[in-house]
């Protein structure tokens, strides 16, 4: 663990966050799997090179043996990403315009969902509803990798600088409604405010509901 100003990180820069997330994302990948990735902002900031650790397609490796669908609400990011990551070179990767609060895919369609700090840009009730949507579109026993900003105090949630800091216990309860949580950890601690912000990672398996598929 490294202290840097008012932030404590599990590494020496923000790339460590991405790498930790990628380790979990790769663990849920596989040949012929259909993977939903939330938003395209990480890819956009890596085009063509801004010093940002570009998550797709360079960082995920084995995950891309499957089919990755990236849902992004901003059309300009979708157009930019599709132009850069063209289908001829990256047939396993597609960017589509859509809203995670109302995912336009059928029930039990995806094998895995991966989300790095997307929900904390939504109001609390909307973000928790997206977890319901992730559960709906995941197959039984499908995988979820989710990272969200939270506050390091029970029953505490605030908005600061356009980021919504969730109540960690409330998020865990919501995830438990649909998933068996296999792993949970804090991967980043930000001490700018009191209580400090925590970047928390969950990995879980979709519970069986009805007929497995």
**Residue ranges of domains in the chain:** 2-206
**Confidence at residue 13, expressed as pLDDT on a 0 to 100 scale:** 56
The class that CATH gives domain 2-206 is: alpha beta
Q: Which of 104, 106, 25 is nearest to 71 (CA)?
A: 104
**Confidence at residue 31, expressed as pLDDT on a 0 to 100 scale:** 84
Close Cβ partners of 6 (under 8 Å, ≥ 6 residues apart): 190, 191, 192
- Residue 97: CB atoms within 10 A of its CB come to 16
Tens of pLDDT along 165-184? 999 999 999 999 999 999 99
Q: Which of 117, 142, 101, 120 is nearest to 201 (CA)?
A: 117
Q: Which of 95, 195, 175 is nearest to 127 (CA)?
A: 175
Residues of the chain with pLDDT under 70: 1-15, 42-65, 192, 210-213
**Confidence at residue 55, expressed as pLDDT on a 0 to 100 scale:** 53
Predicted structure pTM score: 0.86
């Amino acid at each position: 663990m490294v202290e840097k100003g008012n932030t404590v990180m599990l590494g020496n820069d923000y790339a460590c966050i991405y790498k930790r997330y990628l380790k979990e994302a790769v663990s849920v990948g596989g040949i012929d799997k259909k993977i939903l990735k939330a938003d395209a902002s990480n890819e956009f900031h890596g085009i063509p090179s801004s010093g940002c650790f570009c998550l797709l397609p360079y960082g995920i490796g084995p995950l891309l043996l499957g089919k990755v669908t990236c849902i992004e609400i901003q059309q300009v990011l979708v157009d930019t990403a599709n132009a850069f990551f063209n289908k001829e070179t990256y047939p396993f990767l597609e960017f589509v315009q859509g809203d995670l609060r109302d995912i336009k895919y059928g029930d039990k369609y995806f094998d895995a969902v991966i989300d790095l700090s997307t929900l904390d840009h939504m109001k609390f009730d909307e973000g928790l509803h997206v977890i319901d949507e992730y559960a709906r579109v995941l197959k039984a026993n499908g995988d979820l990798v989710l990272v969200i900003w939270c506050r390091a105090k029970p029953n505490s949630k605030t908005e600061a600088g356009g980021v919504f800091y969730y109540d960690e216990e409330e998020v865990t309860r919501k995830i438990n409604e649909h998933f068996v949580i296999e792993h949970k950890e804090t991967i980043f601690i930000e001490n700018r405010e009191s209580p400090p912000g925590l970047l928390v990672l969950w990995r879980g398996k979709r519970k069986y509901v009805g007929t497995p598929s």
